[in-house]
Every structure is written in structure tokens, then in C-alpha cells.
Structure 1
């Protein structure tokens, strides 16, 4: 049943073509950062240098993403993609040149990185809006979340395998080829590209990015990024602290597998409850699964807790996209999606440093506490209080006579 539902979406004319084009490019996106690590380390022999260059790339990507989304909403996907992939290819060439151009190449590669997840999500919204299939939009966003999850499983593994085999340049070259190829394939598909709004509509729509509902979504994505960043550091520290570094990939795999399975199952069913309520329940579930990590010791309890966190994460990601689509005007929808991604990336980067300091000071459980605090913050953001005196439907309860 679930396969039939997903396949029905992909049978919509034009849908499979843009979706799989974006998937190809996203595998390259997932390879780019770790590819820079392998490339710079092979050249300099220093992980510090590799981390610095990769950090410049990540910051440039986080800052440049919303600007790319804004340009797409102004000029359309095709024009921006053609420029972006051209600059990205040139930036990778600068990375290969080495020397003082390495950092410049990394920054340009990050700024020009095509925001293929946001572009694909915007196409789904435009394709399904106003059609009988519009109620299937959450399922389309689930497909996007699954594609991202698979890309970030396969991409880093592929580039690491190539780098470990002694071909770090080949890994970065392959990543760039996938990014450019996927971006160009998406650019030539005009039929499913969202229409560009007029100047007056864009000016009016820009203010919708300041609506409280969307600002809350940005804050939630930043908190989820903190959770991701803290968990990555803490799981590694936990495995190393027990003298079993090989356990770290297994613990990550447990979370990733439940993540993908939960995302697939969630998207396969239609739910009547409001997205805001689902978001609140998923945030509470994430917090409840994360809190025991601050105390449990054995690898099996830790694996169980990580598996439970993986059940909540894909639901939250899908709901963030669904609520973003309804929170802002469609003239700035691509920009809205890129803001969500940038907020998550910024939260993850900051949390990695914070959790690292916490682990050094008090051990892995302190790092898990950073992730748990982020999950509790998500609960506070996702469960806003109702005005006093109002019932769930907005009805004012009648006063009792005295």
C-alpha cells in the first residue's frame, strides 16, 4: 500500500524526472563536505587544515542558502541553477589548484551550492497545489526527507571509500559531477518549475517570512540542528570512552535505519489531526527518547534510545516542510525552505563545538545532555500555550452562575 501511494505521486507527469534529478545532485551535496576533508588532508597531512577549510565551506553554505532561495524566487529556478552550477564547478577547480586558493574555493563552493532539497520541495508544492492530489503533499515531503536521508547515508560512505583507496581528488571530482549534473538536469525541466511572482506580489510576500508561525519553524529547525550536532559528537565520544570505537558506526546505523523506516511509514498514511498537534507529539517523543541518554551506560540501552529518537526525527522534518508551505506566501516559498535548512546547519555547527566542550569537561553524558536540552527546547516551541479562557476550538467557555 505504501509503495503504491509513493509510486502514484511519482507517476504524476514530470514528478519523477525532477525528483530523481534532485536526488542525483543531493548525493553529490552530501559528498562535498567530507570530500573536502579528504582532499585537503591528503595535500597537507593536517586534519586541522582540513577542518578549517571544511568549516569555511559549511558556513558559506549556511549563509548562502537563503540568498540562493531569494534569487530563485526572484528569477526562477532555471536561471539561478545555471549560474550556480557554473560557479560551483569553478570553485571546485580552485580547490584542486591548492595553495592560497583553497579557502577561496571552499567558500565559493559553499555559496554556490545549489539548494536542491528546497528546489525539489518547491516543485512538489507548485505541482500539487490546487489539484485533487494536494492532500498528498505531506507524502511528497516525506519522499524528500527519505531522499535526503539516503543521500547522506550513501554520499559520505562513497567518498570516504574512494578517499581511503588513495584517490581523494576523484572523490571531490565525483561529488562535483553529481552536483552539476543533477543541477543541470533540474534546470532544463521548465514544466514543473514554480512560476515566478510579479514584483508587487514578491514585495508583499516577503513580509510573510516574519510571521510568528514561520519564525517558530526556523527556531525549531535550529534546535533540531543542535540536537543533531550534539548527538554526533556524543555518540563518538561514548564509543571511544568505552574503548570500542567500532561501535560508533553501528549506533549511527541504528538511528538511521529507524529514521528511514519511520519516515516511510509516516508518509504512507493520511492523518486527520492538525500538523501542529502532530509536531507537538513528535517533539515530546523526541525529548522522552533523548533524556535517558544522559544517564544510561550499556550499549544496548543507548542503541534503544537512539533508535527511538530516529522514530521522531523524520516526522518532524516532514511537518516542518508542511507547515512552512502553509505559513508563508508561495512567492517566497523556496526562500522559506532554504531558511529552514540553514537554521538546522547553523544549529548543528554550534552544537558540535558546545557538545565537544561538554564532553571534555564531564564525559559523553554531558554531550547527550546538550542534545536533550535542545529536544526540550523544541517541546517548548512546538507546544505553545492557548490563550486563557479558550477551549481547543477557540470557543469561550460559558461562565457559571453563582
Structure 2
């Protein structure tokens, strides 16, 4: 792990990593705690799902807006201002839950909470290239991916632990406090500086760049596959009369992602981004589709572990490629659109998997095959990806 030791030796990396952990764990804590708090308030699971949908939709739509303001103005000012609004939305939502407010009020409060979420994730990702040497970026983004994946496992576990002592409404408040701590740590990171620029801007921002649009489409495809797997794996467990294995199956994907990203972060960048993306997407497509051939739950778990092992390096490459493709003045917004693309792909994949399984008479294999097919589409697009460094070399050769 020499690469990670050298990365943490860079001034500011430790504080940025801690800020990333705090801000990333808040979201999975909130989603589970909010779901349980709505049910605990006497509402149905359908209402709880509607509240979470309102929160997620507002979050996906609003973060690119706040990230654009970060690119144009002082990041610290935007983060602190959005955090103040976010804490207010937390307080109003908790009050609405405690007083038994109507469904409309709860959904509205959840939408306000999502709309006011600070763009912490995009700021962290956009900050890595600002102070980490270029030869350490692969390690930095691998670490970022590991933190992101690990927090989605750790967050629900922390909620379960807290529920032994307090009610779900209190845990919702704890999630808000964790986010606040993360933001305060982030704004104190020396590398989070104003990025205002005098360069001419346009309304499309990073979406005006073809390479950014291409990468976002590929990210939607990969998130689609993950969403389909998250639905199909529990369905397979239920079909095998082992519903308790659902969490283990989904966890196998996360475990594989964390392990492979950690290892990939220690490796030198040997080939071009495009070639690596082709390789990992092609292998991912074959592995995901091949999951449908698993004869037992044990084999299915091993196959899903393999899906994660391929996904870790691929997701790291996405961050590297997007950072190189996005113009500097739009970098934070580009990473915000990456998050939105992941939410969109996940929603499409989980929804499509549920419909396909139902139409196929509860045959879960069709969902895995569909997920593999969508990942194959990303593999076909991968050769079109060219990094800034590779483009410069090509232009030099032509000159």
C-alpha cells in the first residue's frame, strides 16, 4: 500500500478524506432512517417510498445547480450557505414527522431537504486534481470510490446500532449533524479555494463538451446495471427460499468494488483510458450476464463478487476521465452531473429489472441478461473516450 502512504503524505489529503467520509456516510444514514421514521409515524411503506423518491429526485436535480455556483463563486460560501438551508430543512422535516403532518407536507419537506443538500461530493472530487500530483490521481480517485462504496455499507449499520438506543426520528437528526460536521471539515480544508474564472461561460456548462456527455451516458449504463442487480439479487434469494441472503448478495458486489478499487489505486496507469474502459466494460458485461447461469446462491454470491471486482477499477476510470474531459471552470458541476447520472441510471435499472422479472414470470435471469446488455453498450462507446493527455499527444504528432 505504498501508493496510499505517499498519497496521505500530501498536505491536505487527510483532512479531505475525513471530510469525504463524514459527508458520504450521511446520505445512506438519512435514507434508511427517514424511511423508518415515516413508517414509525404511522404511515405506510408506500408513503415512506414516496417521501424518499421526493428527496432523491430533488437531490439529483439540484446538486448540478449548486455545483455550478461553486465553480463560479467561492466554494466555502456556497457550502456554508447551502448547509444552513439544509439544516433548516432537517429541522422542519423532523417537526413534521413528530407532529404527524399530512403526506403532502412530508413529501414537500423531503423535497426541500434534497434540494438544499450541499454539493459536498462534487466539491471533494473536483478538489483532488487541485492539489494531488497527476501521477497520484488514480490512487486518489480509487480512495474516493472506496470511501463512497464503504459508506453505503457502513451507514445502514450505524443506523441499526443507533436504533438500539434512540428512535428513527432522532437518527434522522444525527444524520444531519454528521453532514454538518463533514461540511465544516471540508470548508476548513486548505485546498478548497475559490475557483472563479474570467473565461467566457455558456449555459450548458460541462454538458457542452462531447467527451463529458459521452462519459455521462456510459455512467448511466453502468448505474442501470447496478440498479438491476440490486433488484435481481434479492429476487433470486427469495426465489431460492432464502430471503435473508439478499443483503449478503448485494454486499458481495460492494465488497468486490472496495477490494478491487483499493488494489487498482496502487497500480501504475499502463494504457490509455479508452482502452482500459473498453476492457473493464467488456469483462463487466460478460460477468453480469453470466450471473444468470449461477446454479446456486453460493455461486451467485461469488459471481456478484466478481461483478464488484470489475466495477471498482471501472468506476475509478470514470472519475479520472471525467476530470480530464471537463473544462477546469466546470469541473465541480461535471462531477455533480456524474452523481445525477448515477441516480438516473440506478432508477431506470431497478425499475426495468422489476418489470422484466414480473413479465418473465418471476424469472430473475432476464434482469441479469438485460444488465449485461446495457453494460455492453457502454463497452461499445468506450473506444470514443480520449483523455486530454492523449489528445495533446495526437495533436503534437499531427503537427
User: TM-score, normalization: structure 1?
Assistant: 0.90
- The structure-2 alpha-carbon separation of the partners of 1:294 and 1:284, relative to structure 1 and needing over 3 Å to count, comes to same
Match of 1:201 in 2: 199
Instruction: List aligned pairs for 1:159-174, cutoff 5 A.
Output: 159-163=159-163, 167-174=167-174
Contact conserved, 2:33 with 2:172, CA < 8 A, in 1? Answer: yes
How far apart are 1:8 and its partner, in Å?
1.7
Q: Distance in 1 between matches of 2:170 and 2:200?
A: 42
Contact conserved, 1:85 with 1:184, CA < 8 A, in 2? Answer: no
- The structure-2 alpha-carbon separation of the partners of 1:171 and 1:207, relative to structure 1 and needing over 3 Å to count, comes to closer
Moved more, 63-72 or 166-175: 166-175
Contact conserved, 2:205 with 2:330, CA < 8 A, in 1? Answer: no
Q: Give deviations 1:291-325, integer Å, cap 9, x for gaps.
A: 11233331122122211111111111111111111
Q: Distance in 2 between matches of 1:192 and 1:202?
A: 24
Q: Distance in 1 between matches of 2:308 and 2:16?
A: 28
How far apart are 1:121 and its partner, in Å?
1.4
- 1:364 and 2:350 equivalent? no
Q: Distance in 2 between matches of 1:293 and 1:338?
A: 31
Instruction: List aligned pairs for 1:248-327, cutoff 5 A.
Output: 248-327=246-325
Structure 2: gaps of 5 or more residues: 387-392
Select 2:326's aligned residue among 314, 325, 328: 328
Contact conserved, 2:252 with 2:305, CA < 8 A, in 1? Answer: yes
Structure 1: gaps of 5 or more residues: 387-392, 396-402
Contact conserved, 1:73 with 1:197, CA < 8 A, in 2? Answer: yes
How far apart are 1:117 and its partner, in Å?
2.1
Match of 2:390 in 1: none
Q: Distance in 1 between matches of 2:270 and 2:193?
A: 28
Q: Distance in 2 between matches of 1:343 and 1:142?
A: 19
Q: Give deviations 1:79-136, integer Å, cap 9, x for gaps.
A: 11111111111111122122143212211111122232221111111113xxxx3211
Q: Distance in 1 between matches of 2:374 and 2:39?
A: 33
Q: Give deviations 1:243-279, integer Å, cap 9, x for gaps.
A: 1011112212222222111010000111221111111
How many equivalent residue pairs?
381
Match of 2:114 in 1: 110
Q: Give deviations 1:357-388, integer Å, cap 9, x for gaps.
A: 111221211222332222112112213499xx
User: TM-score, normalization: structure 2?
Assistant: 0.90
- 1:383 and 2:391 equivalent? no
- The structure-2 alpha-carbon separation of the partners of 1:34 and 1:385, relative to structure 1 and needing over 3 Å to count, comes to closer
How far apart are 1:160 and its partner, in Å?
3.6
How far apart are 1:58 and its partner, in Å?
0.6
